[in-house]
Amino acid sequence: MSSAPPSLHLFAYFTGGGEGGLRLAASHDAAAWHPLDDGAPLLAPALGASRLMRDPHLSRGPDGVFHLLWTTGWNDPFIGHASSRDLLHWSEQRALPVMDAFPGTLNCWAPEAIHDPATGEHLVLWSSTVPGLHAATAGLCEDAYNHRLYACRTRDFARLSPARLFFDPGFPVIDGTLLRARGEWHLFFKDETLRPAPRKTLHHVRAPSLDGPWSAPSPALGPAWAEGPAALDLGDRVLLVHDMYREGHYGALVSSDLSSWAAPASGCALPRGSRHGSLLTVPASALAPALLARLPASP
């Protein structure tokens, strides 16, 4: 009997300001990462006035279809979506009007999707500022932003449920990312508070379901001025990478209990210049063979 196809860890990311589009890297061990297709963009942005593809989030449904979501611009009230079966050939890009129920929304940042096995739906998550809401924390962020995490549900990325407030810890938050591990749901996010004293730190909450209730936020995970967390369950430990955007590099933490965190002993060398990305483990057979042509063999 043949063995199951080997798995690969994938990292979807952007570089620069997001003008170039989607880039992918792969790893056998979640430590050494290799850009696919020599680091060339695999999908150029075609949505929004700014034509950006920032914060790309890659997920894969039970049907084997990959779904890519991204930030199309700094002040767009929608997010981008495209799908693929092999990460080389892509569908037409579509703007998903996730905040239509909240007229005047200033932005839709860092969207992601995760499949909910309890309902068979995809939960779509992002951060937005809606003027007039959460007045108690107005003025704590840059410009007029006052972000919270919002969500909707979908089965086909065409019909979307109305957006709802998903997570509000009482302060501005962005860059929410979800992970199912150890029988619980885990949400990692960035405290976006700037005033009166900057926080800009990553935190973690947990819940028995995607509907909550969420625990109290953890203390800061790692140093300040970090954003774009992405988590990967490696079985015996969880890897959490984050964009140290002021320093121009990625940081990484690992935990065996999702409570105490430390730098990974084997390191985590993500591609130079990579920005706010997402992590995913898939069968190697799910990728177009051309993308794997120059990937080093598993040790």
Instruction: Provide the 3-class DSSP secondary structure of residue 273.
Output: coil
- The pLDDT of residue 274 is 97
**Tens digit of each residue's pLDDT (9 = 90 or more) over 236-248:** 999 999 999 999 9
Could you tell me which residues are beta bridge partners of residue 241?
Answer: 230, 252
Percent of the chain past pLDDT 70, that is, above it, reads 98
Query: In terms of Cα–Cα distance, which of 238, 248, 289, 285 is closest to 270?
Result: 248
Contact 67, 81 (CB under 8 A): yes
Contact 101, 163 (CB under 8 A): yes
Identify the domain containing residue 163 by its residue range.
7-287
Does 295 reside within a domain?
Answer: no
**Tens digit of each residue's pLDDT (9 = 90 or more) over 86-95:** 999 999 999 9
Q: Band the pLDDT of 5: cuts 50, 70, 90.
A: low
pLDDT at 261 over 80: yes
In CATH, what number is assigned to the domain containing residue 189? 2.115.10.20
Does 245 reside within a domain?
Answer: yes
Taken in order 114, 105, 202, 70, the sign of the CA dihedral is positive
pLDDT at 2 over 70: no
Does 110 reside within a domain?
Answer: yes
Mean pLDDT of 96-110: 97
**Tens digit of each residue's pLDDT (9 = 90 or more) over 287-297:** 999 999 889 88
Tally of domains in the chain? 1
Whole-angstrom distance, CA of residue 211 vs CA of residue 187: 12
Provide the terminal-to-terminal Cα distance of the chain, rounded to the nearest Å: 23
* Six-digit token string for 21: 């589009």
**Tens digit of each residue's pLDDT (9 = 90 or more) over 163-218:** 999 999 999 999 999 999 999 999 999 999 999 999 999 999 999 999 999 999 99
Does 128 reside within a domain?
Answer: yes
Average pLDDT along the chain: 96
Does 138 reside within a domain?
Answer: yes
Does 82 reside within a domain?
Answer: yes
- The pLDDT of residue 3 is 47
Does 296 reside within a domain?
Answer: no
* Six-digit token string for 143: 């410009």
- The pLDDT of residue 1 is 36
Does 260 reside within a domain?
Answer: yes
As a 3-state breakdown, the chain gives helix, strand, coil percent values, each rounded to 5, of 5, 40, 55
